[in-house]
């Protein structure tokens, strides 16, 4: 036996041992997989997708179109079949000539198909081109239906696109060249690691499949996230109030209180020093407070919008006034917290309470006549399902909200991460924003339905008035000086709807800024990055489109512009304040206890 024979024999035995070890891992993981799947919660059908009525109307409309205008549909069918067959024949022709190459490819660019084999390998290129031809046919079929109203048509477009995205060949191992190549390179190790990732995600979420987007071991609140120094100076059943330590010798006399959304946790505004809006505001000489909301359990079933206003907003504002010894504060509301800040301001107007000097709204909706992309989930089929869910459990579990927002960007937040984790066995990245995105919170039953029914569906605040705290409040009663920042590609709070709400407010002093990018990146956009620009236009009497067309485009972050506006509303400079006081002892260091409670 030669040296090469011995080496080959050793390698063969090593490969067999490795295969046996992997098979043993797969067997153990399969048992864990079955156990984990058995623990999954039953998801109500009403929260799985739109009602069958939508599809029935679409099918009826398509049938009617076939009867009334057969030539149009026949033309589209022939176009589809022509493209599909022509591509098939071209691919076959090259193969019969012995050419292992794809035919001409003029399909649109798609970042899902960036691996070189999608372009160079005849099998994978054929699958890609056929998929994209089918996509175009489905989209055309949806557009051919003229019997649906605008909202139904929008929903049909959205949910048909969900099906299209789900069936992408990149989402299946046999048709994903990148995953197959990696499996071959690693002797199947990537697939076993992917199975481990899948099982770990199922076990971590009690059988619910929630793709881990970020390395959860890479971050710890107070150590490398939410590190701006400060203290909890007040706490009640609904929130902790955090006051941040000054970094300047002098500060503006009027303190700044920030109300973040309770759908997620406040530290989106304090991820790390380089992109922390909180730290930046402190560095500009503001006494900054932030509300850290409790993560509700079923015991909060009856907590309403009125509780969030009375026990949350008004209480927090009152405590800030006491701590700082002032009569007025400036307030910020982000997303749903901005919506609720506007309700609070309208209520304060009725009560003749002038405690808020000026208000800032981040990506805030107050006019829900056009609910944007998220509106596909705000029709009765979904909302009735949520109503039944919270009636039974007392809360809307964060699982449902997280899943809903993820499906608004399914390729980026579901399928792409799932491919990397489960097919390729890659560990999730250490990405602070995605870590925060996965750290969701529950919503109380009563508040959830008040918000969905009275504001989102019935648009009462911008029309007939919204009932809260024993009275009816109207959008025109928001009269304090205000500045609003909306985001151009926001898929949660459409900027045109945000603009419309600001137009309807009664303030004489209004400023509107449109930031580039989306719901998070457009807000968490520090000047040091010089990344996304913004638009300004003082003429708020224009339509949204006309406002945008006439707006001035400015490079870089809107934060300095906000600072210039806010400083003019914040009074004289005084010696810096330290957190707390004699009547407000420091209860815990920032970021507090509510934000880390599970």
Catalytic site positions: 335
List for the chain the helix, strand, coil content (%; round to 5): 50, 15, 35
288-293 and 256-259 strand pairing: parallel
Alpha helices in 450-567 (DSSP H): 495-504, 544-550, 559-567
**Burial, 556: exposed, middle or buried (Cβ in 10 Å; 0-12, 13-18, 19+)?**
middle
Rounded CA gap, 351 and 458, in Å? Answer: 25
The answer to whether residues 257 and 329 touch, using CB atoms and an 8 Å cutoff, is yes
Counting every residue, how long is the chain? 598
Three-state DSSP class for 269? helix
Helix (H) or strand (E) holding 16: helix 3-37
**What token pair was written down for 135?**
């996509």
Please list the residues that pair with 179 across neighbouring strands. Answer: none
CB contact set of 123 (below 8 Å; sequence gap of 6+): none
CB contact set of 443 (below 8 Å; sequence gap of 6+): 262, 263, 296, 390, 395, 396, 401
Distances (CA, A) of 589 to 12, 139, 231, 242, 594: 59, 54, 4, 9, 12
Rounded CA gap, 554 and 535, in Å? Answer: 6
The answer to whether residues 309 and 339 touch, using CB atoms and an 8 Å cutoff, is no
Torsion angle in degrees (nearest 10) through CA of 519, 330, 365, 454: 130
Distances (CA, A) of 303 to 236, 330, 457, 460, 595: 14, 26, 20, 20, 19
**What token pair was written down for 319?**
């405590």
Please list the residues that pair with 99 across neighbouring strands. Answer: none
The DSSP secondary-structure symbol of 420 reads: I
Q: What is the CA radius of gyration of the chain?
A: 28
- The residue among 449, 483, 139 whose CA lies nearest residue 341 is 483
Please list the residues that pair with 444 across neighbouring strands. Answer: 395
Outline where DSSP puts E strands in 323-411.
329-334, 356-362, 395-396
The answer to whether residues 418 and 407 touch, using CB atoms and an 8 Å cutoff, is no
């Amino acid at each position: 036996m030669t040296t090469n024979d011995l080496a080959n024999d050793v390698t063969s035995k090593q490969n067999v041992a490795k295969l046996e070890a992997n098979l043993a891992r797969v067997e153990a993981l399969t048992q864990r997989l079955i156990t984990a799947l058995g623990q999954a919660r039953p998801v109500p059908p009403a929260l799985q997708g739109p009602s069958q009525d939508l599809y029935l109307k679409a099918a009826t409309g398509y049938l009617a179109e076939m009867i009334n205008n057969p030539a149009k549909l026949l033309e589209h069918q022939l176009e589809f079949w022509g493209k599909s067959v022509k591509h098939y024949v071209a691919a076959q022709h090259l193969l019969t000539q012995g050419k292992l190459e794809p035919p001409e490819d003029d399909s649109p660019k798609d970042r899902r198909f960036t691996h070189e084999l999608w372009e160079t390998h005849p099998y994978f290129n054929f699958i890609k081109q056929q998929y994209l031809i089918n996509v175009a046919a489905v989209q055309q079929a949806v557009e051919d239906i003229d019997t649906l109203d605008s909202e139904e048509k929008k929903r049909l477009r959205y949910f048909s696109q969900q099906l299209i995205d789900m069936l992408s060949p990149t989402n299946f191992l046999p048709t994903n060249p990148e995953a197959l190549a990696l499996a071959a390179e690693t002797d199947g190790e990537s697939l076993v690691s992917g199975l481990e990732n899948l099982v770990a995600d199922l076990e971590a979420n009690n059988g619910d499949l929630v793709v881990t987007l970020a390395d959860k071991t890479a971050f710890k609140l107070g150590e490398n996230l939410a590190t701006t120094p400060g203290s909890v100076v007040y706490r009640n059943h609904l929130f902790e109030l955090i006051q941040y330590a000054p970094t300047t010798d002098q500060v503006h006399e009027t303190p700044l209180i920030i109300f973040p959304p309770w759908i997620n946790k406040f530290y989106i505004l304090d991820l790390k020093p380089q992109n922390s809006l909180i730290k930046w505001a402190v560095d500009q000489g503001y006494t900054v407070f932030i509300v850290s909301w409790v993560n509700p359990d079923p015991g909060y079933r009856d907590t309403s919008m009125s509780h969030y206003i009375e026990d949350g907003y008004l209480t927090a504002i009152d405590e800030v006034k006491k701590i700082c010894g002032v009569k007025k504060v400036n307030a910020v509301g982000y997303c749903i917290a901005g919506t609720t800040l506007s309700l609070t301001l309208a209520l304060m107007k009725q009560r003749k309470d002038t405690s808020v000097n000026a208000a800032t709204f981040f990506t805030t909706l107050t006019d829900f006549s056009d609910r944007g992309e998220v509106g596909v989930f705000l029709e009765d089929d979904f909302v009735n399902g949520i109503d039944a869910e919270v009636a039974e459990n007392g809360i809307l579990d964060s699982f449902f909200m997280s899943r809903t927002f993820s499906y608004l960007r399914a390729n980026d937040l579901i399928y792409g991460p799932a491919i990397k984790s489960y097919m390729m066995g890659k560990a999730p990245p250490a990405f602070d924003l995605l870590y925060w995105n996965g750290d969701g919170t529950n919503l109380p039953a009563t508040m959830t339905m008040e918000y969905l029914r009275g504001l989102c569906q019935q648009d009462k605040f911008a029309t007939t008035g919204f009932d809260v705290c024993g009275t009816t409040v109207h959008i025109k009663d928001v009269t304090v000086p205000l500045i609003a920042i909306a985001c151009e590609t926001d898929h949660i709070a459409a900027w045109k709807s945000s603009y419309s709400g600001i137009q309807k407010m009664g303030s004489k002093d209004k400023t509107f800024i449109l930031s580039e990018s989306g719901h998070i990146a457009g807000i968490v956009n520090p000047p040091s990055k010089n990344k996304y620009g913004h638009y300004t236009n003082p003429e708020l009497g224009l339509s949204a489109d006309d406002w945008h067309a006439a707006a001035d485009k400015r490079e870089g972050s809107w934060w300095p512009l906000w600072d210039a506006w806010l400083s003019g509303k914040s009074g004289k400079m005084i010696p810096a304040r330290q957190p707390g006081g004699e009547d407000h002892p420091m209860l815990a260091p920032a970021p507090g206890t509510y934000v880390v409670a599970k």
